[in-house]
Structures are given as structure tokens and as C-alpha cells.
Structure 1
Amino acid sequence: MNRWSKIVSRKTLTILGMNSGTSADGVDLAVIRLTVGKWSPKIMVLDGAMVPFSPRLKTDLEKLIGQSAVEVADLARAHMAFGMHLGQTARRFLDRRRLKVDLIASHGQTIGHFPGRKKSFGLSVGATVQLGDGSAIAAETGLPVVSDFRAADIAAGGEGAPLTPFVNHLLFGARTRSRIVVNMGGIANYSYHPAGGSPEDIRGGDCGPGNTLSDLAARLLFHKPYDRGGRIARTGTPIEEVIAGIEKANARRGRSAGREQFDIDLFARLVFTARRRRGTNADIVASIMEATAGLIHRSLKPYLADERLEAVYLTGGGRKNQFLRQRLCACLSPCSVLPIETLGFDGDLLEAVSFAVLGGCFVTGIPSSLPQITGTHTMAIGGKLSLPPERRPNKSHRRGSKQPGKTADTRIK
């Protein structure tokens, strides 16, 4: 029996999940133990960390994200190089924590999300692009890797996002209480879990910009990586025309969103609008925050009347923005708005945990795409398998020509 056959036959799996979010600031890693149960898998989080990107790597990624024109050779090399980077990061993390896992589940870094159907080779198709070749990760770590989770959903007619509502159902679904989970990453998304509901009862989707526009404004207008705690937004006054511009851009998308909808071109138009109204830089950031909170409220409004709704739980980096949280509390009142830590989970690691769980779903054959959320025609099993190369005792057959103790330069060229 080969290694993969042994993994598939196990009732308990230890999985390392990896995710680089829309903000492209680092890699989140989470190790889980997944036990296949009679009705649904049991999940225990064992360890986790966030490893920030170097300034050089972050700059290289930003050059690719959302670009309409990229050299094919550059993209192919970036896919392989970033996979090597992820593999080396995983190996160092596992070695330092002295952890052993059965496999790695890697989402990679989204650099383009194009769910809208357009003609290609005579067929109408959507697409999504995540950097980080699974075979490169497998070669660096010597472990099986499940990656490319969104393609199966798109191939089945969906938009490939969001994928985490099914995992949120496994983690946070309750028999007697309804819950809403809002992920405030680069793009904000939500999932609603009615009391005692099945996967078919879950509702969810993307809300609009999470941190994408506010981070862009902080960088270009204030030379800061982000608006820490909402301190800048707190000093500004929202401008209705700027808010309307964001809402208009959000209305053009389908079920899911990407940074392509909230890019530098939109930001330039928002600045132009603000200047016509004699708005300050702080007013622009305040307008973005107000629009973000308003679009989240608009998405959640149909579920706030649920008498068994316990709370709205926030995850992702945006939950640390006190000003945005206050605006959400005001919009969603009298519903409680709480950090996901209230339920015993680290909000910084939840997406890495989610992809670890999705990796386990791939191994055990559990479909994870939800038609009512992504638009897929059927519940697809997401992921593709990459196996590591066979190890040979002869030194001449070892991977590459690196000297022991040295790490290859995997900066994206």
C-alpha cells in the first residue's frame, strides 16, 4: 500500500492548512486534527502562526495582483517560485514546532478572480488564479499537497468563492442558536447558519470591500500599511458621493468579488470625487469605512430578524479595526457583534484552518461547494493532489543542487 492509500484509509488526519489572503501580507499556517465521524468530521486546532512576507516578496506579489497584462513566462515562474516559498515556509514551521502532519492543504495567493463568464476557445467560462504550485510545495516538504481549491467549483458552474461557509457550518453551526460569521479580510464575506440547519440551509456570499480600499487609501494618502484601529477614519467625515461610488462598483459584480472591482482606478475616481467636494484625505478613509460597514449590513439584513440569532461573529484582520467594529455595531443593532475569539477560535488563523478542513474533505470525499452560495450546479469536491517526488538514497538524485543548510532564493522574478 503506497503512502497516499494509507492516508486515505485513515480515520484521523493531521493536516497543515496554509492561506495567503487578499491583503497579501503573509502566510497563515494552522495544524488541525480531523477525525471522520458518523455524521460530520470532528476538528481540533493544534497549532498555528502567521509568517509575514518580506517587503521584496510583498512588492513582487503586488505587481501581479489584479494586473490585466502579465507576461506568460513571468506568471509561470512566479507560480513555481511562490510554491517553493510556501513549501520552505511550511517546512521551517513544522521543524521548529516539531510537528508531523499527513498532508498540506494550500490555498495559495489569489492574483486574479474572474468569475464572470466570457468566451474563450468558443466556450463561456469563468476563471480564478492562485499562485503557489502544489508540486513545488510537495517537493520542498516531501508531503502530499492538496491545492487549487476553487477550480472544481468554477468547472461545475460556480464562481469559486466564497468556499469557507461549509467549514463555518462544521465549526460554528449550533442546534438551538443561529449565528452569522463575517470574515473581514481584503474582501468581506459572510455565512448565515440557522439553528439546527443543514449545509443546504446555509446562506452566504461576498459583501464587498473589506480592507482592500482602506489599506489602499492608508498607503497612498498617509504612507501607512493600513489604518490601525481606524484612527484615521475616526477623524474624517463620510462623503455621500464617495460612498455611492463604492456601492456602484460593488453592484457591478456577480456573487463573488475580487480586488479587480476595488482597484487603483476606482480609488482614483473616489479621490477625484472627494476633491470636488473639498474632502480631506481623512474624509476619504472615513467614507470607505462607512461604505464597507453599510455593504456588510445590506448583506446581513435579511437574517437579522431571526429570533434565535445569537450574534454576528467577526473574523479576519478587519475585526481589529475598532472604528469599523463600532460602525457595524451601530448598523446591526440590537444584534450583538463579537470577535470570533468568543467562540474559542483565533480569528487570524481561521482561513488557514478552513483550508486544512477543505483538504480533509478532499481526502475523505466530502463535497464542500454550496450551490446556493457560489452558484455551482452541484456540490463539488474542491482540490487537486500533488505527490512529492520519490526519495532516492543516491546523493546525486537529491532535489536541486542546494548545499545542506541553505535555502534557495525563491523571490518572484
Structure 2
Amino acid sequence: MSHPLERLLCPGPRVVAGLMSGTSLDGVDAAVVRLDGSGAALRLETLGFVSRPYDAELRAALAACAEVATSNVRLVSQLHARLGDVFADVALAALDAAGLGPGALDLVGSHGQTVQHVPVAEEVAGAPTRSTLQVGSPAVLAARLGTPVVADFRAGDVALGGQGAPLAPTLDGALFAHADETRVLLNLGGIANLTVLPPGGPPRSAFDTGPANMVLDALALRLTGRPYDESGALAAQGTPDNALVDDVLAAPFFRAAPPKSTGREDFGAPFVDWLVGRGPSSPADLLATAAAVTARSVAEAVRRFVDPAPARVIASGGGVHNPTLMGRLAEALAPVPLETTAAYGLDPDAKEAVLFALLAHEWANGVRTGLPAVTGASRPAFQGSLTLP
């Protein structure tokens, strides 16, 4: 009987499912992708994509799990297993959208759901310690799908002294580098992050710029009872409190030079509490203020840390569907034009799920996808750990 690794490690095209859930806790994205080659010679075709929101009960449990004040080890353990099933269901839906069954899959790449990310060392039991934790059991996924699963993509880089984030530059460099112009790839997920692509070369740097949908969605849920401000309609009616935006952007994270990463540890429930307490009483004005924080933090990061100025900024992620946020971004970035990945043939919603299919594919190719210039690690990490069905 052949070893299950034999098929996985054979060169040639692979059909890979990529799974992603972001810091905004809105749900799971799954892309089924056919991949061949590696690096700049990569060939990629998206066969199917679906996105499924978390139900209110699961989202509330995840929010409690991700906050130090409300989490507990039993909840973390149980959600780890529960999300394995949730991710498997979404992967099966993406396979169905592609007209394929589980037997067509060669591999799964799953990011999981981040519940803690501590890239700056804190003392634990007398020793400085850095960590990152994503839940969504790869063992459950492998058992449900009958397919090898590569997961835990951030831990290898953190173990080598890196930030463990962002991971998008591997995909950005493979698909969007241009021979003659500097480009910035911007992801507007729960957190906003960008990749700097110099002409003809690999990514020069990449880093988180601050909150995007995470804070906007948390404010919408608290102020309106709805999980998000659809199309930025309420924020469009408001006026930003520019003095409060200045106060937010004076925080050490925004002033720090890359490499840097962030998440709920900086912009979770305590930050939202502070913003509500300090901000305008009008929900529309408060949402407009949060949108201005994202727009200005991105634009200031581009101006401070991208030299020469990019020819264009190409956005992806759920934030591209918020016209108010995109309008404020376009104004803040001007005269640099703002586009989306749709203009280059990649669905902005699918990009992160496609990324984890790519990272799993490169793992099977034996490629170290860690980028020390991006994360600050001591050497390139072999990103991901394998679970066999």
C-alpha cells in the first residue's frame, strides 16, 4: 500500500482548497484552485469560491474566545474542534461550486481562525515568549475531507523571531509584480495590510497598517444590532471626528516602522470601548470616524514607508465593498490611483482563500515561503504543518 505522501509530493498540477477566516470574525472563505509550477512560474486557476458567514452564536463564542477577559481553555479546545467541522462544510461547498467531489482534492491549506497573536515578546513563567494561535482543527478537516491538510502557517516564522504576518506577499509577488512600476497590494480584511512590490522583483516589504473591517463591524453591531454597515451607508451620512482620528493615529503602533503586525490585541473590544467613550454620540459620525482611521492610516503608511511612491494601489478583501471606505481611501491616497484585484482577474473576496491554497501548494513543492524582509525572522521559515487523513 502506497504512503499518502506519495501522491501529495508528486510534481505537476494540484487541486487545492484554500480556507481563510479573518480577524473580523465574519465567516469562512473557501477557494478551490488548480495550481502548477512555483514562484514566478506559477500558474493558477480558481475553479470555485464560496463564502459562508458565521451564525450569531458561533461568532459570539469566537469573540469571547479571542478576548483575554472572556476566554477559557475549555472554550478554546471546543472551538478548535467545532471550527474544523465548519471549515470542512465550507470546503465541500466550494468543491460543489467547482463541480468536483472530495476525491478531486490533492491538498487543503487552512489558515484557521486567529484567537491570539503575540508577536512582541511577553514574559511567561520567567522567560520572554512570543506566540500565535489559530483554531480550526486540521485533524477534523483531514478526517472529513479525506485529504492531507497543511495548517498553522504563522508559527514557523514566529519561532524564528518574525511577526508571523502578513502572509499575502507570497501571492502578491507571484501574481501582481510588474516589470516597470512599483505597486502596493492592499488587503482590507479585519486588519488592513499592504505589500510593496518593486519593479520586477520580489516583495520588498509588507506589514499591517491598522484596523479595517474589524472595528467598523464591531461598531455596527454595537450601535445598530447589525453585523456590519452595509455598503458603508451609515458611515456615509456621518462626519469624522478628525481630532479623535489624530489621537488614534498617535498610538505607538502607527508610528512604528515595519516589520509590524497587529490584531485584536490592539484593536479588539477594549479599543472599541475606548472609541465609543471618546467619540461622537451619533452612530453615523462614529462609523465615519472609524472609516477615516483606516483610510488615513493606510495612506500615511504608504507615504512614510513606500519610496518611491507607487504607481498604483490594488485593493482586495471585504472592505472593497464599502464605497464609503473606498472613497475615503481614494481621497487620502491621491494622486496615487486606487484599484481592486478584479481589474487583474482575481476576485477581491477570494484572494486570501486563494493565498492559503498557494501556500499549501508551495509547502508540497518544498519551498520555504517565509519572507524575512517582510516579517523580521532570522531566516526563511518553512510555513505550515501537515496533518494526514
Question: Shorter chain as normaliser: what TM range?
Answer: over 0.9
Q: 1:281 aligns with which of 275, 280, 283?
A: 283
Is contact 1:88–1:141 with CA below 8 Å preserved after alignment?
no
Q: How does 1:369-380 map to 2 (within 5 A)?
A: 369-380=370-381
8 Å CA contact 2:4, 2:388 repeated in 1: no
Percent identity among equivalent residues? 33
Distance, in Å, in 2 between the alignment partners of 1:376 and 1:118 is 17
TM-superposed deviation, 1:120: 2.6
Report the Cα distance in structure 2 between the residues aligned to 1:180 and 1:96, rounded to whole angstroms.
31
Q: Which residue of 2 aligns with 1:263?
A: 268
In 2, Cα distance between equivalents of 1:188 and 1:144 = 31
| Structure whose CA Rg is larger | 1
| Length-normalised TM-score, structure 2 | 0.92
Between the aligned partners of 1:38 and 1:228, the Cα distance in structure 2 is 37
1:212 corresponds, among 202, 210, 214, to 214
Choose from 229, 232, 235 the match for 1:230: 232
1:364 to 1:210, Cα distance in 2 relative to 1, 3 A: same
TM-score (norm 1): 0.87
The yes-or-no answer on 1:148 pairing with 2:152 is: yes
Alpha-carbon distance, 1:221 to partner: 1.4
| Residues 140-191 of structure 1: per-residue CA shift (max 9 Å, x gap) | 1111000010000100111111111121101111222322111011100000
Cα shift at 1:292: 0.9
Deviations 1:224-247 (A, max 9, x none): 221222222222222133213322
Runs of 4+ in structure 1 deviating by more than 3 angstroms, as ranges, are 37-40, 95-98, 248-254, 302-307
Structure-2 residue corresponding to 1:394: none
2:298 paired residue number: 296
Cα drift, residue 64 of structure 1:
1.2
Contact 2:34/2:45 (<8 A) preserved? yes
Q: Are the structure 2 counterparts of residues 304 and 252 from structure 1 closer, same or farther at C-alpha, using a change threshold of 3 Å?
A: closer
- Structure 1 residue aligned with 2:193: 189
Is the Cα contact below 8 Å between 1:149 and 1:383 reproduced in 2? yes
Aligned mates of 1:27, 1:321 — CA distance in 2: 19
1:383 shift after superposition: 0.3
Structure 1 residues 341 and 198: CA distance shift in structure 2, 3 A: same
- Distance apart, 1:272 and its partner CA: 2.2
Q: Which amino acid aligns with 1:274?
A: G
Task: Return the letter of the residue paired with 1:63.
Answer: A
In the aligned structure 2, how far is the partner of 1:159 from the partner of 1:303? 17
- Deviation at residue 95 of structure 1 after TM alignment: 4.8
Residue number among 237, 240, 243 corresponding to 1:241 in the alignment: 243
Asked if 2 retains the 8 angstrom alpha-carbon contact of 1:329 and 1:337, the reply is yes
Aligned residue for 1:195, secondary structure, equals coil
What is the deviation of 1:88?
3.3
CA distance in 1, matches of 2:182, 2:242: 34
- For structure 1, which segment, 135-144 or 251-260, has the greater mean C-alpha deviation from structure 2 after superposition? 251-260
One of 169, 173, 176 as aligned partner of 1:169: 173
**1:52-98 CA distance string (max 9 Å, x none):** 22232222222212334532222112212211222233235425644
Structure 1 residue aligned with 2:139: 135
| Residues 148, 384 of structure 1: 8 Å contact kept | yes
CA-atom RMSD in angstroms: 2.0
Q: How does 1:25-44 map to 2 (within 5 A)?
A: 25-37=26-38, 40-44=41-45
SS at match of 1:287: helix
The CA distance in 1 between the partners of 2:6 and 2:22, in whole Å, is 31
Return 5+ residue gaps in structure 2 as ranges: none
CA distance in 1, matches of 2:208, 2:285: 25
